[in-house]
Every structure is written in structure tokens, then in C-alpha cells.
Amino acid sequence: MMFDTKIAIIIRNDLQVWQMLNVCAFMTSGIVGQDTTLIGPDYQDQDGNCFNGLLKQPVIILSASNDLIKKIHGKALSRDVKASMFIEEMFDTGYDEANRAEFTKHSVDVANVVGLGMRAERRQIDKIAKGAKMQFGMGDM
């Protein structure tokens, strides 16, 4: 099935594995929070056990250097594509309220972006995320 939109998570490639996974989870939750219809119905196994519904649409996970993720961030803003964003300083907080307080301390020009998540028309995401790589090398993991 082909989708009109694309979901992309872009993660800065110099993070530790736990940080990459954490950022990916937060970026995905932001995208789903904007459109809960992205989640399908619950799954049920042969024994009748019920499991949470999952995203109906694939998610592409990309890696980018610090400079490239800043460029991608700027392109998303200039195209009015609403994004989920995680800044490096949020790793030092432990809960949502502290994350929000830290986030508000940083402007667009100085935000230390480590992750972006967005959903938009396929071609628009391709243009915004141009240069980010689909695979993570061993040095990235």
C-alpha cells in the first residue's frame, strides 16, 4: 500500500544507542499525538490475548550530522511542517514539565537539536530530509 504522507524520524548520528532509541520513541509519540487515526485497532493473537494497536504507516528512521540536522530543522520551519523536536539538554531532565522548561530556554538559532520527527506529503519530507541517511553505521550505534 502506498501512502500519500511519509513519517520520518531524523536522529543526530553522534548519540549513544540509548539516546537514539529514547529520541526515536519521543519523536514518534509526538507524531501520533497530532493524529491518533494513525494507530490501527488492537491486535489479538490466536489465544485471544489483546495487544496495543500500532502505527498503520511505516516510519523511516534517518541519521544526520549536527550540521545537517540543523539544516533539516530550518527547512521544516520554512515549509511550515510541524515537527516533534528533542534537544540535547532534555537528556538531563527526567519528566515532561522539566523538558518543557528546558525547551523554552532555547531559540531556533541556538537549539541543540538531536532529533526531529515529522509527517507530511511524501515529496515534501524527501526534500526536507535530503542528505540524511537511512542506515546507521556501527559507529552510530
Instruction: Express each pLDDT in 13-55 by its tens digit.
Output: 999 999 999 999 999 999 999 999 999 999 999 999 999 999 9
| Averaged pLDDT for residues 85-103 | 93
Fold adopted by 5-41+50-119+134-140: Bit1 (3.40.1490)
* Cα–Cα dist 90/97, whole Å: 11
* pLDDT at 140 exceeding the cut of 90: no
The predicted pLDDT at position 63 comes to 96
What residues contact residue 58 under an 8 Å CB cut-off, 6+ apart? 3, 7
Amino acid at 68: L
Please give the DSSP secondary-structure letter assigned to residue 96.
H
The domain locations on the chain are 5-41+50-119+134-140
Confidence at residue 108, expressed as pLDDT on a 0 to 100 scale: 83
pTM: 0.89
Q: Summarize pLDDT for 59-89 with one digit per residue, the tens.
A: 999 999 999 999 999 999 999 999 999 999 9
